[in-house]
Amino acid sequence: MTAQVVLVTGAQQGIGRCCALAFAAAGYDVALNWLDDEAAAAAVAAEVHAAGRRAALVQGDVGHVAECGRIVEAAVGALGRLDVLVNNAGIFPRVPFLEMTEAEWDRVLAVNLKGSAFAAQAAARAMLAAGHGGSIINLSSQAVRGTPVGVHYSATKNGVVGITRSMALALAPHGIRVNAIAPGTTDTAQPRYGNTEEELQAMGRALPLGRLGRPDEIADLAVYLASGKAAWVTGQVWHINGGSYMP
């Protein structure tokens, strides 16, 4: 039986890396999209191979629509099919609202929101062309509730919720499920921009469950949402945050 294939964007580190490894452990072959650290991406590919699965490295910037299509095409070309897309690539440059520039706004929206939408479009087209359904998992964030140094980021992560619900409706007739995961503060490089290690650990202790999230916990949820166990789940936003936000 041919293995299913997942494409993970932003797979060179953090949640993306853990998603790639969790899907490999679940029996998927993995296409690893990376932006600017080939050595890190190659190290993830080596871990996928060590798990007995195939891996393909696909460089590209999802902030450009043409790149989204090329990334999906390269993944299918390398591994033969595409069953799951994890829209993980994202940026969060901290900037006070009163200092935010149009260029900063445009770049964050291009990567986090436009990139997620058009990567999903390209993936869905590939799934339909192959004659099968699939699963798309978008990464939102607890920042949907707002952040003073990330107005642009919060806008994109709220937008991800909107496109998830709308794409779920658009793609349901084709057997493609679309869901979103909204992590709280997770122990990766991203929250270390703008926070000291001491501040970060204090944030974790202040959560109801008393610690930061682990990226592998986010990845395990992504694997579940892609699996047959979630076959009747679409258009949903899964908040995973240690109890810090309960919408």
Q: Is residue 1 predicted with pLDDT exceeding 80?
A: no
Q: Is residue 96 predicted with pLDDT exceeding 80?
A: yes
**What is the rounded average pLDDT of the residues 63-91?**
98
Q: Where are the domains of the chain?
A: 5-240
* Residue 140 annotated as catalytic: no
User: Among 153, 193, 224, 244, which one carries the catalytic annotation?
Assistant: 153
User: Among 157, 166, 193, 227, which one carries the catalytic annotation?
Assistant: 157
The C-alpha atoms of residue 22 and residue 19 are separated, in whole angstroms, by 5
Q: Which residues pair with 235 in a beta bridge?
A: none
The C-alpha atoms of residue 168 and residue 178 are separated, in whole angstroms, by 5
* Residue 114 annotated as catalytic: no
Kindly list the distances between the CA atom of residue 180 and the CA atoms of 113, 139, 196, in Å, as whole numbers in the listed order: 13, 6, 29
- Band the pLDDT of 14: cuts 50, 70, 90: very high
Q: What is the pLDDT of residue 65?
A: 98
**What is the rounded average pLDDT of the residues 94-106?**
97
Q: Is 13 helix (H, G, I), strand (E, B) or coil?
A: coil
User: Among 116, 141, 193, 229, which one carries the catalytic annotation?
Assistant: 141
Residue percentage of the chain with pLDDT more than 90: 92
Q: What is the pLDDT of residue 189?
A: 80
Please answer whether residues 53 and 3 qualify as being in contact, where contact means their C-beta atoms are separated by less than 8 angstroms. yes
Kindly list the distances between the CA atom of residue 66 and the CA atoms of 11, 28, 33, 100, 103, in Å, as whole numbers in the listed order: 19, 26, 15, 27, 20
Q: What is the pLDDT of residue 192?
A: 83
Q: pLDDT for 149-190, tens place per residue?
A: 999 999 999 999 999 999 999 999 999 999 999 999 998 888
Of 1.10.10.10, 3.40.50.720, 3.40.50.2000, 3.30.1160.10, the CATH number of 5-240 is: 3.40.50.720
* Residue 154 annotated as catalytic: no
Q: pLDDT for 127-156, tens place per residue?
A: 999 999 999 999 999 999 999 999 999 999
**What is the rounded average pLDDT of the residues 101-127?**
98
